[in-house]
Structure 1
Amino acid sequence: MFRKRRNFCGGRALRHGFPVFFPGGFPDGQHHHLGATAQAYRVVIPQALPSTTDATAMPNREHWLTHVAVMLRPIFSRNGLEIPLRVRLGVGALAPARRTLGACYTTCDRMGFRHVTISPFIDDPVMVAAVLAHELIHAALPADEGHGPRFRAAARALGFEGRATEVTIGPALRSELEQIVGRAGRYPHAALV
């Protein structure tokens, strides 16, 4: 028999609850249970990092990606872009070809989230951060933009070079990404071979 539990996001009742732990904890200090469909809610990109977050002990890839995405917010804001709050971040297989480094699914799921997936074949933290920034540009723009003129202008403003469909990091962006990665700590992932 399954008990329905109410979660903290929208008061929606979910089945198959399991504990989810947040770095800063919940306001009431309790552990909350979310269903499998809402599990990814914990990787929503917050406006700022909690003061208790220990960057050297990221428990998984999704927390690391979220930490980096939060630190990318000021760079995006400086260039007139806003990273949406309702984005789920993850690492997963994208295509049989290892050329695909990331994907942003710009159409929202049933809960109103966009999804960003990073390739499991890369583990260089600066490259992962650059791919994340590239995909977050997609998330920040309208769903039908693709690699069109607004995307190209935003990518150039952030510091990407080369073709819009590639992740070529310019020197200024590389410097900022290296600082972010240094603060985020070790990327807790080993590339698939």
Structure 2
Amino acid sequence: MTENTAPEMTREAWLRRAVDVFRPRFVEVGMPLPEKLHVSVGFGFGTKAESKNILGQCWAGRASDDGVNHLFISPEVAETSKVLAVLLHELIHAADDCVSGHKDKFADVATKFGFEGSLLTLNPSETLAAEMVALAETLGDYPHGALSAATRMRTGEPEPEVPAADPGVPAAPRGRISSGPATQTTRMLRLSCKAEGCTCEGYAVRTSAKWIAKGLPYCPAGTQMTEG
């Protein structure tokens, strides 16, 4: 006979529990949450999203084939109370179906819940932050390890040094850390021809600072190019 053990709590199951805890708050302010929501972990989508610190994102129901809002919490976030604050922010968008952006109904409800300052970023008041800490103790730790490598790639921080392995212990694997596109290690600078009346009509190229240091190139019409 084997001993019965409780199944491991997934991130998504934990987030759904948190959503259920938040539901009464939305009823109290007269903007109830949709009965069905997709809540998961994932990166924000948008222009150059890989270089932005997007903590969470909500998609309107009309954006999905099943008509259900999709909410994502960034895999870079792991602190339980912060995850709850991000989730609450995104749930306000879901309750409004993203109609108001960060203004009007969204701003009204966010302020009632205790967010302050710029609503484009996560700014919980001291009271709301304390509530999230208390709720975190009730729900238990968020079962997630922060994807810290993504943060380092976004901010340009160096990889941490790996201590030498003990004799007989295989060294940690090195190299690529994701299956996505390779990180661009050289910043390409834009050069263009700004000479008024030049027949090249604003010819532009990109190159690295290494080659710019050796000399600025010329456009097809023979005019020296400049940065920008």
Mark yes or no: TM-score above 0.5: yes
TM-aligned CA deviation for residue 145 of structure 1: 1.4
Q: Is it true that 1:87 corresponds to 2:37 in the alignment?
A: yes
Q: Is it true that 1:103 corresponds to 2:44 in the alignment?
A: no
Paired residue type of 2:54: T
- The unaligned stretches of length 5 or more in structure 2 are 1-5, 149-228
Q: Give the total of aligned pairs.
A: 138
TM-aligned CA deviation for residue 128 of structure 1: 0.5
Q: What SS does the aligned partner of 2:40 have? A: strand
TM-aligned CA deviation for residue 171 of structure 1: 2.1
TM-aligned CA deviation for residue 97 of structure 1: 2.5
TM-aligned CA deviation for residue 150 of structure 1: 1.5
Match of 2:113 in 1: 158
TM-score, scaled to structure 2: 0.57
The answer as to whether partners of 1:98 and 1:121 remain within 8 angstroms in 2 is no
CA deviations over 1:106-127 (Å, ceiling 9, x no partner): 1332222110000000101111
2:130 and 2:31 map into 1 onto residues whose CA distance is 20
Paired residue type of 1:101: L
Paired residue type of 1:102: G
TM-aligned CA deviation for residue 102 of structure 1: 0.4
2:99 and 2:146 map into 1 onto residues whose CA distance is 31
RMSD: 1.7
Matches within 5 A, 1:6-155: 59-94=9-44, 95-108=49-62, 109-155=64-110
Match of 1:22 in 2: none
Distance of aligned partners of 1:163 and 1:114 in 2 relative to their CA distance in 1, 3 Å threshold: same
Q: Which has the larger radius of gyration?
A: 2
CA deviations over 1:139-178 (Å, ceiling 9, x no partner): 0014421112211111000110111111111122222222
Moved over 4 A (4+): none
Paired residue type of 1:188: P
2:76 and 2:35 map into 1 onto residues whose CA distance is 26
**Farther off after superposition, 141-150 or 121-130:** 141-150
2:103 and 2:56 map into 1 onto residues whose CA distance is 17
CA deviations over 1:69-108 (Å, ceiling 9, x no partner): 1111122222222111121000012231251100000133
- The unaligned stretches of length 5 or more in structure 1 are 1-53
2:139 and 2:8 map into 1 onto residues whose CA distance is 8
